[in-house]
Structure 1
Amino acid sequence: MITASSNALYTDLSCYYDLMCADINYQDQSDYVHRLHQLFGNNGTKHLDLACGTGPHVRHFINKGYQSSGLDINQPMLDIAGLRCPEADFVLQDMCDFIVEQPVDLITCFLYSIHYSNGIERLRSCIASAHAALNKGGLFCFNAVEKTMISNSSVVSHTVDYDDSHFVFSSGWNYCGTGDKQSLRLSIEKSTVQEKQFWQDEHPMVAISFSELERLLSPYFEVYTFEHDYEKIIPLEVNAGNAIFACIKR
């Protein structure tokens, strides 16, 4: 058994990241945000993906005709992204304090990565950085989880068979019930004929309610919230645990 800590699942094991996300429909997510941009955005095509990882969303936006770029704090992930999207620019930056050389029209942050801000003040800085990086009427779009609706017992798992190995990937939120700190617990189990390996990690993340998040966003953006459904655009219902935020630069 091997146990990993810190951000090891995103550095030493970055080669497994795409397998870990094999059940994610990047096409549907990208199509959905493209529709939001058509409805609420400024019709521009310059796009930046925060916490871009290995670049699958960037690939889909490029295919739609966007001039896409990405940033992440993990260089091994960016190296993979560069191979996937050689026509895109990828930079090593912290999404909570980033700058762009030229303003963009659309900023995305998928897979609940906005929570990696890990603290209200860093989240506030991320929002300010996104606002500064957008052109007039630009759109900032991301998904988020409502802290009061988190169930610590809820775990999502999927399996993948790859290169003579069987993988089990699991993840789940953990929130103590008070304050602005929560965590994302992740694990990878890899089994071969010869051995079984196990990695686990816990990432600190910001915990926030949707009402608190809207208050942080409102000085910078006109904010719309939608159901976490990539099939159709539906206004957010009361007591929803997940939401998609579409924020138009004021």
Structure 2
Amino acid sequence: MSGNALYTDLSGYYDLMCADIDYAAQSHCVQRLQQLFGNGGRRHLDLACGTGPHVRHFLDAGYASSGLDINQPMLDRAALRCPEARFVQQDMCAFQVDEPQDLITCFLYSIHYSASLARLEACIASVHAALAEGGVFCFNAVDKQRIDNASFVSHSVCQADGRFRFSSGWHYRGEGEQQLLRLRIERQLGEQCEVWDDEHPMVAVSFAELQALLAPYFDVQVLEHDYQRLLPWDGHAGNALFACSKR
């Protein structure tokens, strides 16, 4: 499979792929960041929301939460998970909202789906336009200069239709504005093993470049990629949380 085939055609596997993610901790952490840097409002939009697990946690915390994604099968599943939320199919690099939002999030490194620096800047501008005064934009990102091409993260899940192993890793060739997110799904059922490989083109950006793109629009706090503790980024780690307050 190539392009975004896994994301498009195997959206039913999305929740299994993300089964090891602590959505509650991530959502609670961002709520704390909004309390520190935001306007206290409860209007929330999740970009690249997938099947809506983060939206579910924000709804349960009392937010008027909604989701945006370019993939309609994902949104169909999100609507089943969160029937009280509004989900819209839009490109996060050129979206509009009906009313200003107090908090906009983009979890799971999905900001990199912008795919190019020009589209990343367009995404940032769209977010700024969609936020209310004092609104906050929170997301996580990886620095292209600190990517280890040999590093992969894997986990396994047992289901009635087999044992699944999901693996993912970043790959950056050392130049240019694109990196790859490499994905693999392996399914073992008895003696039979099936394997799906895919590569997603993602925007490659250093944290210095990212902060320069954000600076005209936001006051930026860069934090350690730790959803349990709020600590300033140490300047060395290859991933980080960004809390951006609208100017």
Q: CA deviation at 1:141?
A: 0.3
Q: From 150, 165, 168, give the equivalent of 2:165.
A: 168
Q: In the alignment, is residue 18 of structure 1 matched against residue 15 of structure 2?
A: yes
Mapped to 1, the partners of 2:160 and 2:100 lie a distance apart of 42
2:112, 2:221 → 1: CA distance? 18
Corresponding residue for residue 38 of structure 1: 35
User: Match for residue 205 of structure 1?
Assistant: 202
Which amino acid in 2 is paired with 1:208?
V
Gaps of 5+ in 1: none
Q: How does the TM-score come out when normalised to structure 2?
A: 0.98
In structure 2, the residue matched to 1:83 is 80
Deviations 1:118-156 (A, max 9, x none): 110000000000000000000000000011100000011
Structure 1 distance, partners of 2:160, 2:75, is 23
Q: Aligned equivalents of 1:97 and 1:121: distance in 2?
A: 12
1:48-68 superposed Cα distances (whole Å, 9 cap, x missing partner): 000000000000000000000
Query: What is the rounded CA distance, in whole Å, between the counterparts of 1:7 and 1:180 in structure 2?
Result: 18
- The match for 2:187 among 182, 187, 190 is 190
Paired letter, 2:227: Y
Match of 2:97 in 1: 100
Indicate which of 229, 242, 245 corresponds to 1:245: 242
* CA offsets 1:23-74 (integer angstroms, 9 cap, x no match): 0000000000000001111000000000000000000000000000001011
Deviation of residue 164 (structure 1)? 3.7
1:48 aligned to 2:41? no
Opposite residue 37 of structure 1, the aligned amino acid is Q
Aligned-residue sequence identity (percent) comes to 66
Aligned residues between the structures: 247
Which of 203, 207, 212 in structure 2 is aligned with 1:215?
A: 212
Q: Kindly indicate whether the alpha-carbon contact (under 8 Å) linking 2:3 and 2:201 is maintained by their aligned counterparts in 1.
A: no
Q: Does 1:130 align with 2:127?
A: yes
**Contact 2:187-2:193 within 8 A present in 1 as well:** yes
1:147-166 aligned at under 5 Å gives the runs 147-166=144-163
Contact map agreement 2:67 2:87 (CA 8 A) in 1: yes
* 1:145 to 2:142 alignment: yes
TM-score, length-normalised on structure 1? 0.97
Alpha-carbon distance in 1 for matches of 2:116, 2:40 = 33
- Secondary structure of residue in 2 paired with 1:183: strand
Structure 2, unaligned runs of 5 or more = none
The AA in structure 2 aligned to 1:173 is W
Instruction: Quote the Cα distance in structure 2 between the aligned partners of 1:47 and 1:223.
Output: 19
In 1, the alpha carbon distance for the partners of 2:89 and 2:149 equals 32
CA–CA distance in structure 2, aligned partners of residues 8 and 190 of structure 1: 17
Offset, 1:195: 2.5
2:102 matches 1:117: no
